[in-house]
């Protein structure tokens, strides 16, 4: 255990979460088994070993799926409020273990401790939402055109939900899916990121103990672990009717093609290239706060991170100077130390992508306003710490058209009215999150209109990052079109059925057709 881990209580956190020196990465509840190779997880905070997890083999996977299938057949018959009660108890355990789980998220992934705690809070919030939802899985009653008939819609559990999550939100995205899927009556098989496997095991530990206590059938909460090949076992499996996948657009396209090929369903949460439009009527102070947190929070590794700042020419220099000055105040370092704002990137591959993006924007004619670079020396031994950078650029630069999962912010200038800014904002393939900073009501409404932002999330006078549990989360275009979390996102985890009941002694046929026997 490293000095940082000792100082900030990581050893105790691992103990509280029931983790061992070597953990199994396959689970059907409290039954743990794995026969694959050992995955070693190293912290980007200090380069030290977090833990070891055994990967899932094909044989392990078959055991998981068969157990999930059997468990689902029983779980779907539990009344939804009873399923909600189990989720409520899971929620209570998350509240009790919020601190150690938040520390593990911070240490294994690299986001700040406060962000780690915030991510666990998202788990708690979605469980609260799911518990209420367990008594509100409403259908519709409709009038039939035939006398003596009643029509209605109802929703039934989908079956097994396969969840593929990314390293940047190693616990929250799993909970967004499972909390809703569980109250809907589904079984869940989760493949967490191979970059944060210890955190995945910790979450499964918490759920498994609660489920065992409530005599929930084995297989309702399952874990598999490994690289993309393990994920492919699920995407190709006809026994898994729904795949919820979070990650890059490149990954999502492969998942979508594979699942569609077997006529399965996909819920895709993919890349973002999010912009904030800053009009002449913007509040500059709030603009800086929203832009800086959006660009450097989680070291730029959020799908909702602010990538582009589109500023009107009349206030361009004023906004530029304010943002550049704010970057001078950013503290980079150990994310478990609450005095620091920005932690490390996830690994050295991410560092290379960051460096390549800065090289590319200069090659295309951009101007670096805030120099980037990799930090070394005391406290930066992992080689994953980088300086948040700002570059003046144009929207049609190739590098600007792509998402770089790192703290690189592109400053773009527009002239004219909000229409011109919207052309720039919408002029990328991604369509996740967007924002406008303005005190002009017409500009705000235009931004939110059918001809405005083409993103799944459109905010006024707040930044692009972050999302509340109550609203459906997701985006359009290359972001995949999926919706998770609040609103009526629960419907994706269920199958819709239309029912017609004839309560007469006759059988009238449609269009007045006579068929007498």
Distance CA 269, CA 138 (A): 25
CB-based contacts of 161, cutoff 8 Å, min separation 6: 177, 178, 181, 186, 187, 188, 189, 240, 241, 242, 244, 493
pLDDT string in tens for the chain (517-residue length) = 799 999 999 999 999 999 999 999 999 999 999 999 999 999 999 999 999 999 999 999 999 999 999 999 999 999 999 999 999 999 999 999 999 999 999 999 999 999 999 999 999 999 999 999 999 999 999 999 889 999 999 999 999 999 999 999 999 999 999 999 999 999 999 999 999 999 999 999 999 999 999 999 999 999 999 999 999 999 999 999 999 999 999 999 999 999 999 999 999 999 999 999 999 999 999 999 999 999 999 999 999 999 999 999 999 999 999 999 999 999 999 999 999 999 999 999 999 999 999 999 999 999 999 999 999 999 999 999 999 999 999 999 999 999 999 999 999 999 999 999 999 999 999 999 999 999 999 999 999 999 999 999 999 999 999 789 999 999 999 999 999 999 999 999 999 999 999 999 998 777 777 776 7
Distance CA 295, CA 318 (A): 18
CB atoms within 10 A of CB 329: 8
Distance CA 355, CA 406 (A): 9
Residue 234 contacts residue 143 (beta carbons within 8 Å): no
494-502 sheet: strands from edge to edge: 141-143, 149-157, 494-502
CB-based contacts of 443, cutoff 8 Å, min separation 6: 279, 281, 418, 436
CB-based contacts of 313, cutoff 8 Å, min separation 6: 413, 414, 415
Tokens of residue 455, six digits = 């993103």
Distance CA 52, CA 197 (A): 8
CB atoms within 10 A of CB 458: 18
CB-based contacts of 181, cutoff 8 Å, min separation 6: 158, 161, 188, 493
Query: In the prediction, which pLDDT does 466 show?
Result: 79
- Annotated catalytic residue: which of 108, 115, 269, 443? 269
Specify the DSSP class assigned to residue 37: P
Angle, helices 284-296/316-327, rounded to nearest 10 degrees: 50
Query: In the prediction, which pLDDT does 513 show?
Result: 78
Query: In the prediction, which pLDDT does 206 show?
Result: 98
- Residue 99, classified by CB atoms within 10 Å of its CB into exposed (0-12), middle (13-18) or buried (19+), is middle
Pairing mode of beta strands 160-164, 187-191: parallel
Indicate if 145 belongs to the active site: no
CA angle at 161 for the pair 155 and 166, rounded to the nearest 5°:
130
Query: In the prediction, which pLDDT does 189 show?
Result: 98
pTM above threshold 0.75: yes
CB-based contacts of 15, cutoff 8 Å, min separation 6: none
Task: Dump pLDDT digits (tens) for 359-374.
Answer: 999 999 999 999 999 9
Nearest to residue 391, comparing CAs of 345, 357, 434, 353?
357
* Length of the chain counted residue by residue: 517
- Phi, psi angle pair for 44, to nearest 5°: -70, -10
């Amino acid at each position: 255990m490293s000095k940082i881990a000792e100082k900030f209580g990581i050893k105790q956190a691992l103990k509280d979460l029931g983790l061992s020196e070597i953990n199994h990465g396959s689970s059907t509840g409290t039954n743990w088994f794995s026969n694959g190779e050992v995955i070693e997880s190293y912290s980007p905070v200090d380069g030290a070993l977090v833990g070891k997890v055994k990967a899932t083999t094909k044989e392990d996977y078959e055991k998981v799926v068969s157990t999930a299938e059997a468990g689902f057949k029983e779980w779907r018959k539990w009344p939804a409020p009873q399923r909600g009660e189990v989720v409520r108890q899971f929620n209570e355990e998350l509240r009790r273990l919020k601190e150690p789980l938040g520390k593990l998220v911070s240490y294994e992934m690299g986001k700040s401790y406060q962000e780690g705690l915030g991510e666990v809070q998202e788990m708690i919030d979605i469980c609260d939402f799911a518990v209420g939802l367990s008594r509100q899985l409403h259908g519709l009653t409709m009038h039939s055109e035939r006398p003596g008939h009643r029509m209605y819609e109802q929703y039934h559990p989908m079956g097994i939900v396969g969840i593929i999550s990314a390293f940047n939100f190693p616990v929250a995205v799993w909970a967004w899916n499972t909390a809703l899927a569980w109250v809907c009556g589904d079984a869940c098989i989760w493949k967490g990121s191979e970059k944060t496997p210890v955190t995945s095991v910790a979450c499964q530990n918490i759920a498994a103990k609660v489920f065992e206590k409530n005599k929930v059938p084995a297989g309702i909460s399952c874990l598999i672990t490994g690289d993309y090949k393990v994920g492919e076992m699920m995407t190709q499996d006809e026994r898994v009717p729904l795949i919820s996948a979070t990650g890059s657009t490149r990954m999502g396209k492969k998942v979508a093609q594979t699942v569609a090929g077997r006529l399965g369903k996909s819920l895709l949460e993919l890349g973002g290239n999010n912009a904030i439009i800053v009009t002449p009527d913007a509040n500059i102070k709030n603009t800086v706060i929203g832009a800086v947190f959006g660009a450097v929070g989680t070291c730029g590794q959020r799908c909702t991170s602010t990538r582009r700042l589109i500023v009107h020419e009349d206030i361009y220099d004023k906004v530029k100077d304010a943002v550049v000055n704010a970057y001078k105040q950013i503290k980079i370092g150990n994310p478990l130390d609450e005095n620091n704002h920005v932690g490390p990137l996830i690994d050295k591959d991410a560092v290379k992508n960051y460096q390549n993006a800065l090289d590319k924007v200069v090659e295309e004619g951009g101007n670096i306003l805030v120099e980037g670079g990799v930090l070394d020396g005391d406290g930066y031994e992992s080689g994953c710490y980088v300086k948040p950078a700002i570059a003046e650029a144009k929207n049609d630069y190739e590098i600007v058209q792509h998402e770089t999962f790192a703290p690189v912010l592109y400053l773009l200038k527009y002239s004219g009215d909000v229409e011109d800014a919207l052309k720039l904002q919408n002029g990328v393939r991604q369509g996740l999150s967007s924002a406008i900073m303005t005190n002009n009501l017409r500009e705000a409404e235009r931004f939110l209109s059918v001809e405005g932002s083409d993103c799944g999330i459109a905010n006024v006078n707040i930044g692009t990052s972050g999302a509340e549990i109550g609203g459906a989360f997701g985006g359009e275009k290359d972001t995949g079109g999926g919706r998770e979390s609040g609103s009526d996102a629960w419907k994706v985890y269920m199958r819709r059925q239309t029912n017609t009941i004839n309560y007469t002694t006759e059988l009238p046929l449609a269009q007045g057709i006579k068929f007498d026997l």
